[in-house]
């Protein structure tokens, strides 16, 4: 077993370990994902991003949460992977294949954008356990539900800072209304084109930012008439931009490379 190189990155504090497996045959098991994600015994991440070969795109991406479960989408992780690939090719546009579909990414200056596609607004596809009003779920606070590659539950509150994320987040994540669990966002309107968001991510817990969550919050706010379709979201780790256009929901923000390293064979063998 050979050492496995990795790259540590983050987008607005949403942190990732990126593995480029285009030239390696490595099976990412839940145990291996958990081991790498352990912030004490591994490297630590909110999500693991795996780059692979794709026939009809520049690369394929898979995402794993810190609990070893696989995520359908990861907006900031996609932006980080796109930044790496753009750096290799010296081009400012890439197409990336994910289980949620083909995503287009662009680089402008020091910021990277990705089109996360149109929101899923059908209760069966989000998915929810039963047919309910997705803009006023039968939960305390009447939150919104929608899909952005992952299921999301968006609460609009008076003060996102005052929410006890650690207590409320896991209860909503595992509520029976969400058969595949859900990401949970708490949002307040800070201005006509500005939102403040804090997030509990399915399979990861409290994170400093969530790209698909930012998209979900922006769409939910626009559907309620609280903002327009283009907003800035202040998250715990920085500021993300979301623009809900005719061709999809565009997520824009900073990307940071932190360090490169390698997972040694002894560590890899211990996680199998």
Active site residues: 74, 210
Beta strands 111-115; 101-108: pairing state? antiparallel
Determine how many CB atoms are found less than 10 A away from the CB of residue 224: 14
Torsion sign over Cα 46, 263, 254, 238:
positive
CA distances from 91 to 55, 84, 86 (A): 19, 11, 5
Q: How far is 56 from 59, CA to CA, in rounded Å?
A: 8
Choose among 73, 71, 93, 98: nearest CA to 83.
93
């Amino acid at each position: 077993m050979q050492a496995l190189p990795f790259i540590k990155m983050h987008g607005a504090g949403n942190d990732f370990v990126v593995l480029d497996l285009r030239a390696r045959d490595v099976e990412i098991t839940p145990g291996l994902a958990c081991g790498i994600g352990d912030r004490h015994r591994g490297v630590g991440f909110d999500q693991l991003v795996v780059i692979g070969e794709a026939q009809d795109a520049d690369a394929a991406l898979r995402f794993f949460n810190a609990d070893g479960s696989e995520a359908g989408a990861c907006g900031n992780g996609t932006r980080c992977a796109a930044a790496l690939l753009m750096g290799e090719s010296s081009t400012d546009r890439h197409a990336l294949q994910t289980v949620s579909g083909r995503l287009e990414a662009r680089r402008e200056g020091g910021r990277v954008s990705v089109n996360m596609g149109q929101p899923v607004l059908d209760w069966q596809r989000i998915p929810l356990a039963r047919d309910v009003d997705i803009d006023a779920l039968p939960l305390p606070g009447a939150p919104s539900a929608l899909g952005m590659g992952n299921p999301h539950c968006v609460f609009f509150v008076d003060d996102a800072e005052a929410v006890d994320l650690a207590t409320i987040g896991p209860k909503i994540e595992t509520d029976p209304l969400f058969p595949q669990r859900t990401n949970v966002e708490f949002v307040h309107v800070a201005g006509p084109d500005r939102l403040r968001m804090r997030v509990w991510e399915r399979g990861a817990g409290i994170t400093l930012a969530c790209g698909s969550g930012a998209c979900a919050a922006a769409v939910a706010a626009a559907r309620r008439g609280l903002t327009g379709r283009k907003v800035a979201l202040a998250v715990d780790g920085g500021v993300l931009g979301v623009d809900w256009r005719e061709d999809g929901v565009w997520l824009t923000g900073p990307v940071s490379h932190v360090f490169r390293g390698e997972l040694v064979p002894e560590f890899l063998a211990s996680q199998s």
